[in-house]
A and B are shown apart, each in its own frame.
Chain A
Amino acid sequence: MSVAEPLEATPAPSPTPVAPAGPDDGVPRRTPVAVRALVGAARFLGRWLASTAVFAVAAFFIVKLIPGDPVEIATGGRLSDEAAQAARGQLGLDDPWTTQLGHYLADLARLDLGTSISTNRPVADDLADRLPTTLQLILLGLGLAVAFALVLSWFVVSRPRNPVSRLMSTYARSAGALPEYVLGVVFVFVFYAQLQWAAAPSGALDPILLPPDPITHVPLLDALLAGRPEVFRSYVDHLVLPLVVLVVAHTAILMKTLIGSLDAAIDEPSTRFRIASGAPYRTIVASIYRRALPPLVVMIGMLFGLFLSGAVVIEALFGLGGLGQYAVSAVTSADVFALRSFLVVVAALSMGVFLLADLVNSIIDPRRQTGIQREEAR
């Protein structure tokens, strides 16, 4: 299993790799990378737009299925009959559903996500204000989790008998066992209530500090742009524990995936070929990672959705005030139109990442290009 073993057992690899560039590169005709990337990007855009349109239509009909009148539900019947009627007219609820669907899709195409019933603000503005906060949490968490997985998996795979790596592979196997909210509560108790290491889980910023002017809406970036290091530090302090929770909750599944595919990639003839032909250790490792990465990339694409779910929970627990908290408050105020737009945006986002993972994989590994359909061809 370790890289060292085949190095000593050199006789084994010699007969197998006859192919000119090793079996992993065995593509008959190689289209230039630029062309492949361009075709891939076009496909990606087309599929993403198509699936977003399907999501939008599906969300429309799901909301149509809700029993009762949306205005009545959102306002709790507090409006007078005339006011409710006016609100219905304003939202276009009296039109036939085909007209409503047409207006809705036309609005979506212009990135107009409708108006919230409860706050009376454009939903697109609300989401645009909050999305960067959530993306900051998700992308930092995802980045850290991937970095840890890449390093720790190599440790586990190359030193299988080390007690530390046994411990880590046990952790990897526990993937998904501990949800973020349980970890979050435990960590808040230990690191805030008991040890006082972490900042209070009640907001993204110390209450005495004013948030910086929203320029990019990404809190950390805004603090830097405004030139206020104390605000930046406070943001970081309040972000550490949420990030630790996300990373601890999700690195396991990434490690599990990567350990499995690294194990398989190490034993492939391509590795032996490179060792036998005297390639430097660096090249061998790079080749192993290149062949082992596609499952990880797919998993990252899937994890984005899980991180979105996680962010909803984490924001609720730590009061970070992003997209998740907006959704939860839209639920409590029964704001069905805001939720509908939220659903479409979230689905479009994670579908985008999903397809992006596909695109990245077809660049890393030409065998996985969508036309080839390896899965079916087996």
Chain B
Amino acid sequence: MTAAPAPTDSVLGQTTPTAETTAMARKARRTAPRRTERRGGGAATRVVLATPFALLVLLAVVGPSLANHDPERVTGSTSEAPSGTHYLGTDSNGLDVFSRIVTAARLDMTLAISITVLTTVLGLVIGLLVATGESRRGPLGWTARGAGRLVDMVQAVPILIAGLTAASFFGRSPLVIVLALSLSILPYQLRLMRTEVLWVRREGYVDAARLSGEPTWTVLTRYVLPNAARPTLENSSAVFGMAIIFTAGLGFLGVGIPLPRPEWGSMLAAGVSDALVGRWWSALFPAAAIGLSVLSAALLLSALSPRRR
């Protein structure tokens, strides 16, 4: 692969700061028994850390039924301050901010979770295949090395710009947004998986499995995959954060899910003109929704992963 060793594995950076520290941590991990690795507080701490994300998922499930106004219709006068009828006020078109935020939760969360799942699954599978194939000769090796190069090139296209062009080429539908963002976030997961597989492949138990006559496929799926998947799975919460940020970013630019369907990014963009004249509510609450969901994913990560410095 061209440029990047380990430090580029995650732009959100919730994993692997440098090649060196990763290597050191890895050595420590490999020599220590699995149990002592999780020093990140007890089960109670972890439950607390995972709560915000659970609440967010709950909001996505029940969100639309919490709305006390029609989220796509004008239900009050323009730019009303938060009150008993409009809990979070109304925006410059007279749409109820609270109803729109809770309705949008389902859309934004569904998109982000789809992107995360798709990226992680593809990253695991392709990463495994690239890492095991790239040192071979013949067409298999060429394909794997070619795929590695291709991934480098995909990574060179800025994610938001990939999403923007895809949405304008193929339509501003949820499917297009999910596919475009998944493809452009994929390199981060794939690289992580590839590096880890290259490590795990050299472990004794993989040799043992191979020597005991297990077919290659079984060696890959039963020994390499489960032992190499962990960093990629952990990083999926960072991917979730990216997915939220870029989905809402497309909405903010006005090239995401079309209006009047509520979406946090486009709500934020609509709130800017109000914020300029001091009416903060129609911009602050969507911004908070985006920020809090990224934060909840980061907290989930620290609940799932071993303690880091």
Min CB distance B8 to A, Å, is 5
Decide yes or no whether A376 CB sits under 8 A from chain B.
Answer: yes
Decide yes or no whether B200 CB sits under 8 A from chain A.
Answer: no
Which listed residue (A63, A261, A308) contacts B20, Cβ 8 A?
A261
Comparing B80-88, B108-116, B166-174, B205-213, the segment that makes contact with chain A is B166-174
Please, which residue of chain A has its CB at the minimum distance from the CB of B24?
A264
Which listed residue (A177, A194, A346) contacts B298, Cβ 8 A?
A177
User: Are the C-beta atoms of A346 and B158 separated by less than 8 Å?
Assistant: yes
Return chain A residues, CB-CB under 8 Å to B249.
Answer: 179, 181, 309, 313
B268-296: which have CB < 8 Å to A?
Answer: 268-269, 271-272, 275-278, 280, 283-284, 287, 290-291, 294-295
Min CB distance B161 to A, Å, is 6
User: Are the C-beta atoms of B158 and A308 separated by less than 8 Å?
Assistant: yes
Residue-by-residue, is B148-190 near A (CB-CB < 8 Å gives 1, otherwise 0)?
0000110111111100110111100000000000000000000
Return chain A residues, CB-CB under 8 Å to B160.
Answer: 309, 312-313
Decide yes or no whether A128 CB sits under 8 A from chain B.
Answer: no
Comparing A80-88, A235-243, A275-283, A335-343, the segment that makes contact with chain B is A335-343
Which listed residue (B5, B17, B271) contacts A185, Cβ 8 A?
B271
User: Are the C-beta atoms of B3 and A189 separated by less than 8 Å?
Assistant: no
User: Are the C-beta atoms of A298 and B242 separated by less than 8 Å?
Assistant: no
Comparing B44-52, B62-70, B91-99, B251-259, the segment that makes contact with chain A is B251-259
Decide yes or no whether A103 CB sits under 8 A from chain B.
Answer: no
Known: A181-B265, A313-B249. A302 touches B295 (CB 8 A): no
Which listed residue (A192, A261, A313, A376) contacts B17, Cβ 8 A?
A261
Which listed residue (A176, A188, A260, A378) contacts B275, Cβ 8 A?
A188
Which listed residue (A176, A185, A201, A317) contacts B287, Cβ 8 A?
A185
Please, which residue of chain A has its CB at the minimum distance from the CB of B157?
A347
User: Are the C-beta atoms of A313 and B253 separated by less than 8 Å?
Assistant: yes
User: Are the C-beta atoms of A328 and B253 separated by less than 8 Å?
Assistant: yes
User: Are the C-beta atoms of B13 and A185 separated by less than 8 Å?
Assistant: no
Decide yes or no whether B32 CB sits under 8 A from chain A.
Answer: no
Min CB distance B82 to A, Å, is 16
Min CB distance B234 to A, Å, is 15
Residue-by-residue, is B117-161 near A (CB-CB < 8 Å gives 1, otherwise 0)?
000000000000000000100000000000000001101111111
B-binding residues in A (CB < 8 A): 47, 51, 54-55, 62-63, 65-67, 174-179, 181-182, 185-186, 188-189, 192-194, 201, 252-253, 256-257, 259-261, 263-265, 295, 298-299, 301-302, 305-306, 308-309, 312-313, 316-317, 327-328, 330-332, 334, 336, 339, 342-343, 346-347, 350-351, 354-355, 357-358, 370, 374-376, 378
Residue-by-residue, is B229-249 near A (CB-CB < 8 Å gives 1, otherwise 0)?
000000000100110010011
Smallest CB-CB A-B distances: 8 pairs:
A260-B17, A309-B160, A176-B12, A295-B7, A264-B20, A331-B168, A351-B156, A305-B158
Which listed residue (B153, B168, B275) contacts A189, Cβ 8 A?
B275
User: Are the C-beta atoms of B248 and A179 separated by less than 8 Å?
Assistant: yes
Decide yes or no whether B19 CB sits under 8 A from chain A.
Answer: yes
Residue-by-residue, is B1-41 near A (CB-CB < 8 Å gives 1, otherwise 0)?
11111111001111001111101100000000000000000
Q: Give the secondary structure class of B's interface.
A: helix
User: Are the C-beta atoms of B169 and A66 separated by less than 8 Å?
Assistant: yes
Which listed residue (B8, B153, B284) contacts A55, Cβ 8 A?
B153
Min CB distance A211 to B, Å, is 23
User: Are the C-beta atoms of B21 and A253 separated by less than 8 Å?
Assistant: no
Decide yes or no whether B198 CB sits under 8 A from chain A.
Answer: yes
A-B contact pairs, 16 of them (CB 8 A): A176-B11, A189-B280, A193-B278, A253-B12, A298-B4, A302-B8, A308-B158, A309-B158, A313-B249, A328-B255, A331-B165, A332-B255, A343-B161, A347-B156, A350-B157, A351-B156
User: Are the C-beta atoms of A192 and B157 separated by less than 8 Å?
Assistant: no
Number of A-B contacts (CB under 8 A): 202
Which listed residue (B2, B13, B159, B272) contacts A317, Cβ 8 A?
B272
Known: A298-B7, A306-B11. A192 touches B276 (CB 8 A): yes
Return chain A residues, CB-CB under 8 Å to B157.
Answer: 55, 305, 343, 346-347, 350
Min CB distance B77 to A, Å, is 21
Return chain B residues, CB-CB under 8 Å to A47.
Answer: 2
Return chain B residues, CB-CB under 8 Å to A350.
Answer: 156-158
Please, which residue of chain A has its CB at the minimum distance from the CB of B251?
A181
Min CB distance B35 to A, Å, is 26
Return chain B residues, CB-CB under 8 Å to A306.
Answer: 11, 158
User: Are the C-beta atoms of B158 and A177 separated by less than 8 Å?
Assistant: no
User: Are the C-beta atoms of B11 and A302 separated by less than 8 Å?
Assistant: yes
- With the chains together, A65 CA to B166 CA distance in Å? 11
Return chain A residues, CB-CB under 8 Å to B7.
Answer: 257, 260-261, 295, 298-299
- With the chains together, A309 CA to B242 CA distance in Å? 13
User: Are the C-beta atoms of A264 and B253 separated by less than 8 Å?
Assistant: no
User: Are the C-beta atoms of B17 and A256 separated by less than 8 Å?
Assistant: yes
Please, which residue of chain A has its CB at the minimum distance from the CB of B276?
A193
User: Are the C-beta atoms of B164 and A328 separated by less than 8 Å?
Assistant: yes
Min CB distance A45 to B, Å, is 14
Return chain B residues, CB-CB under 8 Å to A263.
Answer: 21
User: Are the C-beta atoms of A201 and B276 separated by less than 8 Å?
Assistant: yes
User: Are the C-beta atoms of A176 and B238 separated by less than 8 Å?
Assistant: yes
Please, which residue of chain A has its CB at the minimum distance from the CB of B278?
A193
Which listed residue (A260, A312, A354) contacts B253, Cβ 8 A?
A312
User: Are the C-beta atoms of B169 and A63 separated by less than 8 Å?
Assistant: yes
- With the chains together, A179 CA to B41 CA distance in Å? 30
- With the chains together, A186 CA to B17 CA distance in Å? 29
| New A-B contacts (13) at CB < 8 Å, excluding given A347-B156, A351-B156, A354-B156 | A54-B153, A174-B298, A176-B14, A182-B268, A182-B287, A186-B287, A253-B11, A256-B13, A257-B17, A299-B8, A306-B158, A346-B157, A347-B153
